Structure 1
Amino acid sequence: MTVPMIMVAPNGARRGKADHARLPLTLDETIGEALACYNAGAASLHLHVRDDAGRHSLDTGRYREALTELARVAPGMAVQITTEAAGLYSPAQQFDCLHRLRPDWASVALREIARDPLIAARLYARAADQGTRIQHIVYDRADLEILLRGRADGSIPLHQDEVICVLGAYDPPRAGAPGDLEALRPRIAGLRLAVCAFGPAEQDCLLSAARHGAEILRVGFENNLLSPDGSLWPNNAAAVASLRCHLERQAA
């Protein structure tokens, strides 16, 4: 079995220090956590930036500052920015972030950008024109249907074939389980698969996804704070190191 790429998502859009003291919010904290995770085995980073009050931000200036510093301290680490709205941003603002920043790699939640189909088509076309790699975020079959319709009608270019299946949910809170991927698998044939999962079964979900051909496994405090035994991870790097160890054993 080929060992998938490990991606770390160290903070996300919603959690704060009250959830975990080591959840990174500032630029320095994010850079430090990213470097620790890189050294622990994460080859890529799912990057969120926060404003001065700790709120989720799509500010391109903050993104550029973070990307520049990450390229300096961890030049071998691939970085994916998020265009996540998180209830704060419109599709137009999501498009503006991607257009102005021109990142190498970005995640886009299908259900969020589909709120405005015209802007959604512009976003995917702009990404194709500027060479931005897109990872489509799907939570359920309805999201996959948006993706498949877009690929069929040409509004989503066929080469944008990377999908991350999210097992579990934020609202209402629901922990993921390894079997959750089976409900989505009939509709992801021919797509490049990544997986992340909410809750303490995160690692079991990711190991199962690796056995089913996932190319990228996303781990970290955005989705889960707990180790398999139910205790808090001390930091994101510990979750990365544990997943890497289990993947290597599984592949042996």
Structure 2
Amino acid sequence: MTSTETAVPMLITAAPNGAYKQAADHAAVPLTAAALASTAKACMDAGAAMLHLHVRDAQGRHSLDVATYREALAAVRAAVGSEMVLQVTSEAAKVYQAPAQMAMVRELRPEAVSVGLRELDQPDIGDAGLASFFGWLAAERVMTQVILYDAADLLRWQALRRAGVVPDAPWSLLFVLGRYSVGQRSSPSDLLPFVGAHTGAEPWSMCAFGPTEHACAVAAAALGGHVRVGFENNLFLKDGSLAPHNAALVAQAADAAACLGRPLATADQLRAAHALGYSN
């Protein structure tokens, strides 16, 4: 058996737009359902098995509107078929509060969702509210990625798991290296506190900010993690030049996986692993 056959497949998630990027930042930032669909197809062809998508209102602002999500998801699904897992964001983006974020997820019931732990872990929600929401996600088998901004967030997640507030289910984690700020450049060393504190079995991905995104992705891949890349957090190729489109950032990550002997995960593998997590 070759090393490629034994290596853990690496998941590449494309994050093509985020809550804040506009056409003024890059003409290829997808802001409509049609643009998301064509971008998703290009990123899939470059090696991404998951799409992390945000939708915008008529003025191009961040939105969690369920009808807008359904329109975008339908357009993307028509473009990629079943070959991508479609993950919606529940991000607050300084617009929404936890009750509205959770209500959107319950109404939409997406295939996959990302949730920021510190956004939901609020006094007005409490452990009871968290238990209800995460219990619903587990019962509905929504593929859920928990966003963690530092090692303290990871320790809080672990405490909630130990206390039984969050039930056993195939959760995954996203380690965010840095913050949304002008000129932010993440460093591969930003991964170390997360990796050192991660004692669970949950698979983890990383996202990073700025032109060093690719270096961080390579470090994550080498450490057995998965990667999320795209215009949400970075517009530049590894050589510092402006990326022509999101698919170019995905292709870089795919090349890194190949160099490390890691095959690329497929959407079907991701779904199968998620389903298997319920039978353990």
Q: State the distance in 2 between where 1:204 and 1:66 align.
A: 31
* Structure 1 partner of 2:137: 127
**2:76 matches 1:70:** yes
Q: CA deviation at 1:172?
A: 6.9
Q: CA deviation at 1:150?
A: 1.1
Selected match of 1:40 from 11, 36, 46: 46
* Structure 2 partner of 1:184: 194
* Structure 2 partner of 1:202: 213
Q: State the distance in 1 between where 2:244 and 2:113 align.
A: 28
**2:254 matches 1:247:** no
* Structure 2 partner of 1:89: 96
Inter-CA distance 153–172: structure 2 relative to 1 (3 Å threshold): farther
* Residues 160-189 of structure 1: CA deviation (Å, up to 9, x unaligned): 431110112114753211111111112212
Inter-CA distance 158–187: structure 2 relative to 1 (3 Å threshold): farther
* Structure 1 partner of 2:37: 31
Q: State the distance in 2 between where 1:80 and 1:11 align.
A: 13
Tell me whether 8-17 or 141-150 shows the greater mean CA deviation. 141-150
Runs of 5+ unmatched residues, structure 1: none
Q: CA deviation at 1:3?
A: 4.0
* Structure 1 partner of 2:67: 61
**2:107 matches 1:100:** yes
* Residues 7-65 of structure 1: CA deviation (Å, up to 9, x unaligned): 10000011111211111111111111111111111111001111111011111111111
TM-score by length of 2: 0.85
AA aligned opposite 1:211: A
Contact 1:60-1:101 within 8 A present in 2 as well: yes
Identity among equivalent positions (%) equals 41
Tell me whether 68-77 or 11-20 shows the greater mean CA deviation. 68-77
- Backbone CA RMSD of aligned residues: 1.5
Contact 1:168-1:174 within 8 A present in 2 as well: yes
Runs of 5+ unmatched residues, structure 2: 1-6, 263-280
TM-score by length of 1: 0.95
Count of matched residue positions in the alignment of Structure 1 and Structure 2: 251
AA aligned opposite 2:197: R
Q: CA deviation at 1:250?
A: 2.4
Tell me whether 241-250 or 74-83 shows the greater mean CA deviation. 241-250
Q: State the distance in 1 between where 2:224 and 2:211 align.
A: 22
